[in-house]
Amino acid sequence: MNFLFSFEEIFYRPEVMTAVWVCIFLSDWLMNYSGARLYYKYVKNFLSYEEGDNLRPISIEELSHPLRLSGRFASELLMSTIGIWFLLYTCQLYSSSAFYEIVCGFFILLEACVHFRHIGNVALFTSFRKNSGIKGSISFPHFMAHKTAAVDYAIFSVAFLLLFLINRVNFSLGGSLSCLLVAIYNAILAIVSRVEMMHHSRESAATIPATNNCKSVL
């Protein structure tokens, strides 16, 4: 009982949960960085993504300029940390403990899905090292990245919702809501990206006959 009471005291302190967020953010960035290095070193010649290896990619230019990458990391860490601390502190002052738990689950459990995707990328990319026996190449349009992300986040949303229905813990409900919102967001972006790609393809197809006609006249 004393341990449970101590855990509750820690959980309901915004500064402690903010520190947890910092650790999660550092882990997120470390895995993102590892995946980017593997992608540009081993994978890109076999498996090419239109706009990077994930939804928040690290570019080859950033890998070549550590100061630029460090600036991006520091700014994202600072803004997200301040924002989360302010949100949790406000929830603690003006709302119920249930809403505080939902907010904590909202950003912490969302990172569970993010880490799951990072781990999958790193595990896949390490298979492309030399003498792996992999041959050929394939290129993925950008809408595919959003489509697969929407599916992954939707699965996690359902899983967290089932946990909430079983144990009635608001923390799980927060994770379900955040994953659902990100899933919907990526599904919309997938549709928009696919429409844009098809539009560009039609424009290119219309340009080719016109060019051929000009050559025949000449």
Domain ranges of the chain: 2-217
Element housing 140 (H / E): strand 138-140
Residue-wise pLDDT tens digits, 18-59: 999 999 999 999 999 998 888 888 888 888 877 766 777 888
Residue-wise pLDDT tens digits, 164-216: 999 888 999 999 999 999 999 999 999 998 888 787 777 666 665 544 554 54
Alpha-carbon distance 73 to 25, whole Å? 10
Alpha-carbon distance 63 to 33, whole Å? 8
Mean pLDDT over 145-163 rounds to: 94
Alpha-carbon distance 121 to 58, whole Å? 14
**pTM beyond cutoff 0.85:** no
What does the pLDDT read at residue 1? 45
Alpha-carbon distance 111 to 14, whole Å? 18
